[in-house]
Amino acid sequence: MKLVDHLINGQNADFPNLSSTPIYNPASGEEISRVVSGTANCVDQAVKSALNIFPEWSSMTPLVRSRKMFKLKEIIELRQNELAKLISQEHGKTFDDALGEIGRGLEVVEFACGIPNHLAGNYTSNVGRSIDSWSDYQPMGICAGITPFNFPIMVPMWMFPVAIACGNCFILKPSERDPSSTRLLSEIVLEAGIPPGVLNMVNGGKDTVDAILQHNDISGVSFVGSTPIAQYVYSEAAKYGKKVQAMGGAKNHMVVMPDADMEMVGDAIMGSVFGSAGERCMAISVVVPVGKDTGDKIKEIVKPKIENLKIGPGLDPDSEMGPLVTSDHLQKVKRYIDQGVDEGADLVVDGRNLKLQGYENGFFIGGSFFDNVTTDMSIYKEEIFGPVLSMVRADTFDYALDIVNKHEYGNGTAIFTSNGGVARQFANECQIGMVGVNVPIPVPVAYHSFGGWKRSAFGGHGVYGMESVRFYTRLKTVTGRWPSGQHTGAQYTFPSNS
């Protein structure tokens, strides 16, 4: 059976007596491979490999590192079908969705190709008498990324391309649920001519994570995952003096005004709620119609669309939605639907009993839709991370905005309307990090930055874009004078530029 091992210093790491855990094909429920577990020693060896190459890699000119990024982009494009197949086999999302994930990750590699420009500092002459001042951005050293199961290619590419383009070395810890595509991506980095040790991949669970957070030679940690773990990563890594960016969970609302294009709304709901089986931190999980007629119309449009979703294996080209990632996660989503019924929400579409002929052991669930959900229900308050839509009705725009702002998460939101003034007010007044206007999944492009507010993000740094350059570097400012032969004597007051 295939074994997914650690990749340290460009090769399989030989650690005797390590255990392994199973990797499943979500469509069939079958164990298809195993992933080697990690230990603190594995992390330490990865860090040592990175430390050995760091002086050479960081001293390369930004232009040389940029050319490596161009080569990396070229090879990923050539092998994207291979990567997408691995994603679909282990995560369950459709092949086209996997290709879309790779495409969005490639945008960040393209951004990293411009690293000579992004790292440009500034220079000012004569800030004082015969004194000049200049600043630049220098690499931190060794950084690490802890990435989630739902985007095993895109989220790593949110992190390491910019980090290594800035001159750092990187320790990548993927999810143990679907690490094969991440492993192949790590091998492609070597194929692009990036020296062994610049990027190392270490598998594992909490023990590996803790070893990363506590290692003295790791200067910065990036994380994407659930809010409880994001908060843990932030507090634990900060305790050890590390720079941290930690993206957490979400409960994204879509506010629908009476003047919205309802056919557009219906399509937007379907794609954003049920794409990738709802396993996206930017998925819409709550629709907030303003006015009874608006809610009724949404129900009329969306109910048959959910009932007619084409659900099947991710590699079936006819599938619109694949299975959930694991059996445990399937049972968790079903429990949330049970809770919604118990709490009194109206279950308009029930996806719990879906069975596919030939795939009876797969982790499949149908789309589900609750109406008349209230803000005190667990299906509203908590992140389900599955194909479950809740409709919370609002009588007025102000009440809809209040609903959005009072939720503890602040990752993404959207408003659908034909009124520019309403859209502008919503965008200005919502307490959310990423906002869509007639756009259901407002994930920023690579030259902007991704980041939520409130309990959706910890550490104060967004991901990718210029936020990422600032995160993966340290600002150094030099103030200098070359002696001219004239001396004015000691100065005992605080220096000024006058």
Active site residue ranges? 281
Residue 395: alpha-carbon gap to chain centroid: 34
Q: CA torsion, points 335, 341, 343, 346, in degrees to nearest 10?
A: 140
Measured from the Cβ of residue 228, the count of other Cβ atoms closer than 10 Å reads 11
Residue 43 half-sphere exposure toward CB, CA atoms < 13 A: 26
Neighbour-count burial of 24, counting CB atoms closer than 10 A to its CB (0-12 exposed, 13-18 middle, 19+ buried): buried
- List of residues 6+ apart from 220 with CB closer than 8 A: 140, 143, 144, 168, 242, 243, 244, 245, 471, 472
CB atoms within 10 A of CB 17: 5
Contact 201, 182 (CB under 8 A): yes
Helix (H) / strand (E) element for 91: namely helix 80-91
User: Do 305 and 266 contact (CB within 8 A), yes or no?
Assistant: yes
Longest dimension (CA), the chain: 90
Please give the full DSSP string across 14-57, using - where no structure is assigned.
--TT--EEEEEETTTTEEEEEEE---HHHHHHHHHHHHHHHHHH
Alpha helices for 215-357 (secondary structure H): 227-239, 262-274, 292-307, 327-342
Extract the tokens encoding 67. 């050319």
Interior/surface letters 35-72, b for 16+ CB within 10 angstroms, e for the rest: bbbbbeebbebbbebbeebbeebbeeebeebbebbebb
Using CA atoms, how far apart are residues 349 and 307, in angstroms rounded to an integer? 7
Q: 117: which 2 tokens?
A: 């420009």
Secondary structure (3-state) at 146: strand
